[in-house]
Amino acid sequence: MKQRNLLSFLLIAILLSACQTPGPKTQAPATDLPKPRIALVLGGGAARGFAHIGVIRALEQEKIPIDLVVGTSVGSLIGAIYASDVNSFDLEWTAFQLEKDSIFDYGILNAITGMGVAKGDKLEDFVKTKVTAPNIENLKIPFAAIATDLNRGTRVILDKGPVARAVRASSAIPGVFNPVEHQGKMLVDGGVLDNIPVDAAREKGADIVIAVDIGENVANFNITNVVDVMLQSITIMSAENAKFRKKDADVLIAPAVGDVGMLDFGQKKRCMQAGIEAAQKAMPEIKAKIEEWGRKRAATYK
């Protein structure tokens, strides 16, 4: 009788112990996780920059939020227009209207008396017609353009003041456009020092950086004039300084536009499609990075 009572007691104890054992932990749904501050970094590359528009469209379609845009050269042009309106379809329409003559105001007199073969007034005026907000502070998405201080040889982050002036300074290719007097500095193209400004995005508080590289292939066998020489020189320089900087991006998107000439405005549609395809290919990685960041952040609050 005693043995039976003892066995019964042990069985009850085991059952109670099993009931108190915690089950496996369940992860919170990705939709309930903290959201990172995501920066889109758009590199320089002249006419290849139409690929940026395709990347932006793909990100929009997948509902990837963009909390900050940082751009160099053509990246600043595309980025500013998007940060102003946050609509990839309007951006695409604007791009189809953009021609070489819309932004390059070549002149023999300027080439002789100035510091470039083009002034840059046309580029600045083009931005003014496409961006309704006068100042960077008024844009719908926080934005920064990257330029180079020609006198001091330092990187300059333009995140305040006139949008059009900042884009003009960021895009002032040395020898092609006149340097730009802005904020007490003489500024030229940001690609001289920082063609894929991942560090600048981090400095402005980005948790995740999605960078777009359109300048990886520098080969060009169609160099016939002084402008081609200057463009090719800045292309090589920009590609070299981007080699190490782009490694710090959380996700790097590289559209297949390496064979598009820097002034070939006739391949807009192809560049945009290349941007869409490259971004779609990177989408699983982007979503994984966002979820990983959210889970790590949620774990720190437990």
Is 73 part of the annotated catalytic residue set? Answer: yes
Is 170 part of the annotated catalytic residue set? Answer: no
Separation in Å, CA 23 to CA 10, 19, 20, 50, 295 = 22, 9, 9, 52, 20
Residue 81 one-letter amino acid: I
Q: Residue 4 has which token pair? A: 């039976």
Q: Residue 141 has which token pair? A: 């998405």
Closest CA to 220 of 252, 184, 258, 163: 258
| Residue with token string 């005693």 | 2
User: What is the end-to-end Cα distance of the chain in Å, rounded?
Assistant: 50
Q: Using the 8-state DSSP alphabet, how is residue 266 labeled?
A: G
Of 85, 105, 159, 189, the catalytic one is: 189
What does DSSP say about strands 38-42 and 68-72: parallel, antiparallel, or unpaired? parallel
Identify whether the C-beta of residue 37 lies closer than 8 Å to the C-beta of residue 207. Answer: yes
Angle at 230 between CA 199 and CA 258, to 5 degrees: 65
Of 73, 84, 88, 170, the catalytic one is: 73
Return the active site residues. Answer: 73, 189
